[in-house]
Amino acid sequence: MPPRSTPTARQERLGTELRKMREAAAMTARDAARLLGVDPAKVSHIESGRVGVSEERVRRLAAFYSCDDTALVDALSAMTYEQRGEGWWEAYRGVLPASMLDLAEMEHHATYLHTIQITHVPGLFQTQDYARTVFSFTFPRLPQAEMEARLGFRMERQKILLRDEPQPFEAVIHEAALRMRFGGRKVARAQLEHLRELCERPNLTLRVIPFRVEEPIGSGHAMYYTGGPVPQLDTVQIDTAPGVSFLHAEPHLRKYRTLFEAVKAASLSCDASRDLLDSIVREL
């Protein structure tokens, strides 16, 4: 089977973790190739996600690298059974940017979700009208067909909130995002009322950073953090001007875990956040 031309972020991540494991053992790709009885180029393709790898090989490599982190090895082994084409998001491949599909796949496998949003309601919490308004102001403007595809995709992503056992989801939203009247008063009010309903879900925790907080904590640091089955497989997604970025180097993970805890500590309690949300709805 020829190498994949465009591996998914999950496929790349499996290879990256195997490379990290090898480098921590101070071994070369040639060493790994000798163990597996393959060409060193194939090891390179495995570590880039361009070639799949079996559970048996993952476990052989982990033992060869003297990795005694059983939980990590088990988690990587489980990833070998994930097949591209099985997720609902694959219906959008070739229609939407691959990074959007990678985000849906990341959410699907997450054990918990954390987000900080400064100017927008989190995507998984947005109503269709609110999302349409947001997509309407991208530059350059989206073709109508792509806008409708993005709307459908976002609504489909939100179904993870309706699972029988949904992941815990903690969101910290700045008061500024709640007061933005995207789409006008009617759309904004419906969005806030929807957000208030979501607050009643047992797996969702919403906190608000009020305007009265004097420190610029969280300013400019919108982020989406997804927990993996082990901390090493956590991922941070951030939106940048060129597009979506996925970060998983340990210094980045540590930075954003610390940031989230600091922002949460500066925010209102859940009850006070709901009270503030109710007062903003009344003002509309």
- What the chain holds in terms of domains, given with CATH numbers, is 9-79 (1.10.260.40), 89-283 (3.30.870)
Cβ–Cβ < 8 Å for 236, 102:
no
Tens of pLDDT, residue by residue, the chain (284 residues)? 566 778 899 999 999 999 999 999 999 999 999 999 999 999 999 999 999 999 999 999 999 999 999 999 999 999 999 887 789 999 999 999 999 999 999 999 999 999 999 999 999 999 999 999 999 988 788 899 999 999 999 999 999 999 999 999 999 999 999 999 999 999 999 999 999 999 999 999 999 999 998 877 655 678 999 999 999 999 999 987 667 889 999 999 999 999 999 999 999 999 999 999 999 999 98
Closest CA to 281 of 179, 131, 128, 171: 179
